[in-house]
Amino acid sequence: MSQGGKKRVLILFCGGTIIMKEGRDGTLVAPSRKEAVANLRAIEARLATIADFDIRFVENIDSANMTPSDWDRILAELEAGYDAWDGFVITHGTDTMAYTAAALTLAIKNLGKPVVLTGSQIPGSRLETDARRNLVNAMKLATMDVSGVFIVFDERVIHGGRASKASESRLDAFTSVNAQDAGEIRAEIRLSPALPRRRFDKAAFYPGFEPDIVVRTLTPGCDPGDLVFLLQHKRVQGILIEAYGTGNLPYDFDGLFRAARDQKVPVVVTSQCLHGVTRMQGYEVGARALKLGAIEGHDQSLEMLAVKLMWALKHYPYKDIRTVMQTSFAGELSIPVA
Ligand code: ASP
């Protein structure tokens, strides 16, 4: 680790549009590993003026192909390099970047350094790319006096536990869900004064996620029978329902809650509203689901709830999952839960 001089930053290379090239049919594809790392280096030749850095290859994929075992690999790299580096940048596709950010937010305790995810909407090789700016700002954030998992994109610094991809093509691709941004990127990076500073704590890593969950968005008249079928055939370990408004579900979901409780499968309920926060006691249709065992998602993002459910299923017994889902580990939940 640096002693007051230039900071040392490890870049974990995970693929994404930032290094992609156009294939023969016009689609964007990940090039060979060698070409991909060369593409990343070519984005900005002066990165070393920000920090001494090295690039560690983790994988070279479209992030649509990311799985929880890839999150574990990223966590293993962070753990292995934790003492030697002052900060980390993860270059990653934008499609599932918010899920990876949620996973790292939950799985690292006592994080005392910045871990910054970034990528781009336009490949780094194109003239009009947003890659250069995002990469440079991510590197700068990784050297700053702050700790936590963040996404740096366009003019925003977003808390890793609150991020969601809000646009498939805007350069301002990410938004903070039910929270303020952690900072803004102007001529300089301005961070919220409330963010935790760097610390010398020993970080602890808790990888492991159960991928076998189902996320179901309610539509009027939808049949809860397909979820009951999955339960009966033991094909699912956890269920996340995007319900209406404040967390309201039709009466015919009662049977699903009963079946899930019998089989000790947690059912989390969130709101399908864009900026939705659950208040399931507000209507009889929500309160009824709560009585039958629904776990309220409160103001957490869909990405966070899905990843937290996967993480909780791997690390805690059924009886503790409600408490885990309703605990804020790193600011991803702001409503005090009774
Ligand atoms: N499909 C790409 C990915 O997530 C999109 C991007 O990187 O912007 O890898």
List, for residues 66-121, the tens digit of each pLDDT value: 999 999 999 999 999 999 999 999 999 999 999 999 999 999 999 999 999 999 99
13, 29, 62, 174: residue to mutate for ligand 1 pocket, most atoms within 8 A of CB: 62
Domains, the chain: 8-205 (3.40.50.1170), 213-325 (3.40.50.40)
**146, pLDDT greater than 90:** yes
Q: Compute CA 94 distance to the chain's CA centroid, rounded to the nearest angstrom.
A: 11
| Per-residue confidence (pLDDT) for residue 4, from 0 to 100 | 66
Q: Three-class SS of residue 329?
A: coil
Return d(Cα 294, Cα 287) in angstroms, integer.
9
Compute the distance from residue 94 Cα to the ligand 1 centre, in Å: 5
Give the DSSP letter string of 76-93.
HHHHHHTTT-SEEEEE--
Pocket of ligand 1 contains residue 27 by CB under 6 Å: no
Spacing, Cα 95 to ligand 1 middle (Å): 5
**pTM of the predicted model over 0.95:** yes
Average per-residue pLDDT in the chain? 96
The answer to whether the CB of 94 is under 6 A from ligand 1 is yes
Q: Are 134 and 183 in contact (CB under 8 A)?
A: no
Each residue of 28-76: pLDDT tens digit? Answer: 999 999 999 999 999 999 999 999 999 999 999 999 999 999 999 999 9
The angle subtended at Cα 56 by Cα 148 and Cα 79, nearest 5°, is 45
Q: Alpha helices, DSSP H only, in the chain?
A: 33-43, 68-81, 97-107, 131-142, 225-232, 254-262, 284-291, 302-315, 318-325
Instruction: Encode pLDDT of 243-277 as tens digits.
Output: 999 999 999 999 999 999 999 999 999 999 988 99
The pLDDT of residue 335 is above 90: no
